[in-house]
Amino acid sequence: MSVDHVTVLRGEEELFGRTAHLFATASEITCAARDLNTWAATHRHPRDARQVSTPRLRKLFRPGVLLNPSTAQHVRWVSAQGAAVRITPDDINETIIIDRRFAILAGDLVDGRRDYGVVTEPTVVQNVASLFDAAWRSATDLAVYDAQHAELRALAPRVLELLASGCKDETAARTLGLGVRTYRRRVAELMTALGAESRFQAGARARDLGLI
């Protein structure tokens, strides 16, 4: 087994610099993103002139991206461009799959720079792709998800603010003019949206997504 099938690139610039040709000629791009920091630049790539048709685009996001107005706007824009957008509460790794022939897997953040592994080994790519498909199937279409959570997003910012202030549920509920039960419903919904199982984790993720 050769190691040549995996290339590690450092930072978005290098990644997109070295893989631009893949994007330009792709007919199917599939992308899972935890937040938008990672793949924010994707759409900026100029399409290759040789490119006849617009590639099929599938994007899978975590619910949290919709809570932040600016990332939510981006998601909507992507959707409006014709991409299929779905939302999943599952923990997903950041991944791009191109034509089921190349997989780009995001690694850890080091000094503000992220590593990316570009995989070309067919079997591995197929595996990654099928894992993605599973996640995709269980995810909710953006429009559907949107309809379900319209007013949650309206309330979420203030709930987050209060949670982040460290005050008790009692206090927070009064502040919002809500019953404690209802406030806690909001918190629970928020935690589900963030894929968090504890308040600590929710706090970390909320901060992670820039919601606070």
Residues engaged in binding DNA (CB under 7 A): 151, 168-170, 177-182, 184-185, 187-188, 191, 198-199
- What is the number of H-type helices and E-type strands within the chain? 8, 8
Residue closer to DNA (CB basis): 57 or 159: 159
Residue among 8, 40, 147, 212 that touches a copy of itself (CB under 8 A): 212
Residue among 27, 73, 130, 201 that touches a copy of itself (CB under 8 A): 201
For helices 142-165 and 199-208, the axis angle rounded to 10 degrees is 110
Does residue 172 sit in helix, strand or coil? helix
* Nearest distance from C-beta of residue 79 to DNA, angstroms: 22
Q: Which of 15, 26, 172 is nearest to 101 (CA)?
A: 26
- The per-residue DSSP string of 80-105 comes to HTT-EEEE--S----EEEETTTEEEE
**If contact means CB under 5 to 8 A according to the sort of partner, which of DNA, a copy of itself, none does residue 188 touch?**
DNA
CA distance 106 to 117: 6
Binding segment for a copy of itself (CB under 8 A), chosen from 2-10, 116-124, 125-133, 159-167, is 159-167
* Nearest distance from C-beta of residue 167 to DNA, angstroms: 8
Residue among 84, 124, 167, 176 that touches a copy of itself (CB under 8 A): 167
